[in-house]
Structure 1
Amino acid sequence: MPDPIVRIAARGDGITASGKHVPFGVPGDSLLEDGSLSVGPHHQNPPCLHFPDCGGCQLQHVDDGAYRDYLVSRVETALAQHNLVVEIHEPHLSPPKSRRRASLRALKTGQGAVVGFNAAKSNRVVDMQECHILRPELFAIVPPLRKLLGGLLPPRRTGEIQLVLTDQGADVLLIGPEPHGYEAMEALIAFCETNRLARLSIDQGLGAETLYEPGPATITLSGTPVAFPVGGFLQATEDGEVTLVESVRKAVGTAARTADLFAGLGTFALSLSGKIYAAEASRDAVLALKRAAPGIAVDHRDLYRRPLDGAELEVFEAIVLDPPRAGAEEQVRALAASKVPRIAYISCNPATFARDAKLLVDGGYRLEWVRPVGQFRWSTHVELAACFSR
């Protein structure tokens, strides 16, 4: 008797009604008695020739409707583990070919170099011939990078390539290559000029060194150009950033004094009105935000080592939290004991978000709503925005 697929697990396998894990199963599919999969209406043909070999995507076989359901399910499941139920707003999906930052791998071979994402569950590099998640401006750099790195990487050595699309063009950080001599440097500069790079930096193990930057590389956040540090962070897609900013503004409301914690380059701080305090641990990000927005009180502060305490929190009408994947447990404990009226929480990990949400709810906050955000198209990576109030 067919065993229907009823949901997609956190790592992307389909789960049948009887609890079996089925690779590439989608709700609406059925596992047949002979072990084969009968596909249903939500199972689509993957658009990329590298799927499923490439580890850049796990869910290209899932149509948009089922993918939205997956995002909602991931959030609901994480919250349910802490006995939390909440209104889930319509998920946002970033469109194909919208990623403006990515980390690729490169491997020197006898024929030159291969460049791409690692293969699924492997350190093998898939030589990228097409990509349906990267912005075309970034993918266009892959073929010339392949040629360049064939002459720079030591034999059988791997390197890392960090790509970011800035206001001025592609910002490229190469980790691992060892350029020596005039010819190597000449090849690097020619690569930059031919491909109109915004910046090229190389890290040979002692930190990044910028070799080419014809003008300051910036990223515009809520209309404000901000100097973009080498290796800096920004949201994966422009539309995803807009969605998260809109969610934060909705959660914060008309607060006259707001603290943006884990502020980064100011993605949220720059979008808010009133008096803004921003705390960030990265020195480069702090300096960039200070220069871009003198009116924001920017604090170079590691919130894991020194979270804001109750006395510091009481002056704010709203808090914005955007922590790394580990969440912000100690800061949240202080918030749970505070009287701050509103909290906007941005998370890239539903599990740690749910843990922190439970602390806030137990402290008297109401979790009003959550909006899942699928910036990492066709991956199992789920982000979200949430609103708490008291």
Structure 2
Amino acid sequence: MSVDSDPIVRVAARGEGVTASGRHVPMAAPGDVVGSDGSVSAGAHHQQPPCRHYPLCGGCQLQHLDDTAYARFLVDRIEGGLKAQGLATEIRAPILSPPRTRRRATLHAERRGRQVHLGFTQGSSHHLVDLDECWVLTPALFAVLAPLRGLLAAQLTESRRIDVHLAEVDQGIDVVLQGQLRDGLAAAEAITAFSRRHKLARLSIDDGFGPEARWEPDPVTITLGGVAVPMPAGGFLQATREGEATLVDTVRAIIGEPRTVADLFAGLGTFALAMTPATKVYAAEGAREALLALKAGAGRVQRQLFADHRDLFRRPLTAEELNRFDAIMLDPPRAGAHEQTLNLAMCKVPHVAYVSCNPSSFARDAKKLCEGGYSLDWVQPVGQFRWSTHVELVGCFTR
């Protein structure tokens, strides 16, 4: 190696390669070598990106990393977050979802002359990349893009950009078009004909007042833990089925088979419905529509589940309330669960499974739990947003 060369030793949070001397180099992988002239020589972990749109498309930031380097990136992000809070623990080998398995996505559509472009925006830009291929979406989701362009060519007004929310549900593809579209009888008939022809599960339009179903031949559901749960239009799902299974299996490994368990930030019941029928589940969720769907799904199969509409940021469970349970599982949004964690740190529940999509807020909350007497035994990284800088994990806490 030349004395003027500088090796890439890690990948930063936004996806740039970082040299031993601290230089940040876009599109570089660990093992690459940066010359004095700024040229990059590919190393063993630098792969040829499979997608023609990379790196222009903002849907992926790390397609130039092989699986070893991508897994290392996930571990480094978690280690860095914990280190910033003075914490360290075992970080297990990341479990990665395969390519073309993402079952939900939000794309954007806009008119350019007579054509409609549909895809992700370019990284750090509003420029829209029209997708000719995609290596993260499931084949079923990608297959609906071309027909949607045709529909939107007739429905999308000039100089308008809308959001297109797609999800795979039990009945097929669920579509939510968010933004201003053409109105009138002809437009409504075209949407109905399109939805029927392409056998959509549902098509909804949200023009600023919430999604309104324009086509839904059968009630739309998503199966969680073997239970068909009513699926709100645009509702939250784990990004891949493989990622969901990993998260559920990891949570169950942490809490075992408790007699009573609290599921905080329960959503549609990904974890609550994965419990054995003998387990009594308390599920708290601030989003009313999601909670009502969970309650309806659990009621159909007569699960022992109490659904509580509760804002855990403004009204977290007290330590006394938490002490009624044998185990706690929580899956807060990216901001974490600061208010709830303060009370959780004072309770005596022996097992806590913390699911997070943000290593920084997780580490902040983990510090509070450890200061309260919990031990962070290990962390399981989950890479269900393949080739993105998004990191998910499950932390195992015991007392």
| 2:327 matches 1:322 | no
Which residue in 1 is equivalent to 2:179? 176
| 2:297 matches 1:292 | yes
- In the TM superposition, residue 160 of structure 1 has moved relative to its aligned partner by 0.3
Which residue in 1 is equivalent to 2:391? 382
| 2:36 matches 1:33 | yes
- In the TM superposition, residue 21 of structure 1 has moved relative to its aligned partner by 0.1
Question: Any idea what the Cα deviations from partners look like across 1:90-136, whole Å, max 9, x if unmatched?
Answer: 10111000000000000112122100000111111101110000001
Which residue in 2 is equivalent to 1:48? 51
Which residue in 2 is equivalent to 1:343? 352
Counterpart CA distance in 2 for 1:55 and 1:192 is 28
Letter in 2 for 1:174: L
Percent identity among equivalent residues?
Answer: 57
Question: Any idea what the Cα deviations from partners look like across 1:333-376, whole Å, max 9, x if unmatched?
Answer: 00001111110000000000000000000110000110011111
- In the TM superposition, residue 147 of structure 1 has moved relative to its aligned partner by 1.2
Among 101, 122, 139, the residue aligned to 2:104: 101
- In the TM superposition, residue 181 of structure 1 has moved relative to its aligned partner by 2.2
Which residue in 2 is equivalent to 1:365? 374
Residue aligned with 1:332, SS: helix
1:38-187 mapped onto 2 (5 Å cutoff): 38-187=41-190
Among 218, 221, 231, the residue aligned to 1:215: 218
The 8 Å contact of residues 103 and 240 in structure 2, kept in 1 or not, is answered as yes
- In the TM superposition, residue 9 of structure 1 has moved relative to its aligned partner by 0.2
- In the TM superposition, residue 385 of structure 1 has moved relative to its aligned partner by 0.6
Among 285, 288, 303, the residue aligned to 1:283: 288
Among 211, 228, 233, the residue aligned to 1:230: 233
Residue aligned with 2:7, SS: strand
Residue aligned with 2:246, SS: helix
Counterpart CA distance in 1 for 2:214 and 2:24 is 49
Gaps of 5+ in 1: none
| 2:11 matches 1:8 | yes
Letter in 2 for 1:18: S
The 8 Å contact of residues 109 and 150 in structure 1, kept in 2 or not, is answered as no
Question: Any idea what the Cα deviations from partners look like across 1:198-237, whole Å, max 9, x if unmatched?
Answer: 0000011122111000001111111111110112101000
Q: TM-score w.r.t. structure 1 length?
A: 0.99
Aligned residue pairs, count: 390
Counterpart CA distance in 1 for 2:47 and 2:7 is 17
Q: TM-score w.r.t. structure 2 length?
A: 0.97
Letter in 2 for 1:284: E
Counterpart CA distance in 2 for 1:285 and 1:35 is 51
Residue aligned with 2:129, SS: coil
- In the TM superposition, residue 301 of structure 1 has moved relative to its aligned partner by 0.6
The 8 Å contact of residues 162 and 180 in structure 2, kept in 1 or not, is answered as yes
Counterpart CA distance in 2 for 1:292 and 1:279 is 15
Among 253, 256, 260, the residue aligned to 1:253: 256
Q: Which 4+ stretches in 1 moved above 6 angstroms?
A: none
Counterpart CA distance in 1 for 2:297 and 2:183 is 37
- In the TM superposition, residue 248 of structure 1 has moved relative to its aligned partner by 0.5
Which residue in 2 is equivalent to 1:264? 267
Among 325, 340, 343, the residue aligned to 1:331: 340
The 8 Å contact of residues 327 and 347 in structure 1, kept in 2 or not, is answered as yes
The 8 Å contact of residues 284 and 310 in structure 2, kept in 1 or not, is answered as yes
| 2:248 matches 1:239 | no
The 8 Å contact of residues 157 and 182 in structure 2, kept in 1 or not, is answered as no
Residue aligned with 1:293, SS: helix
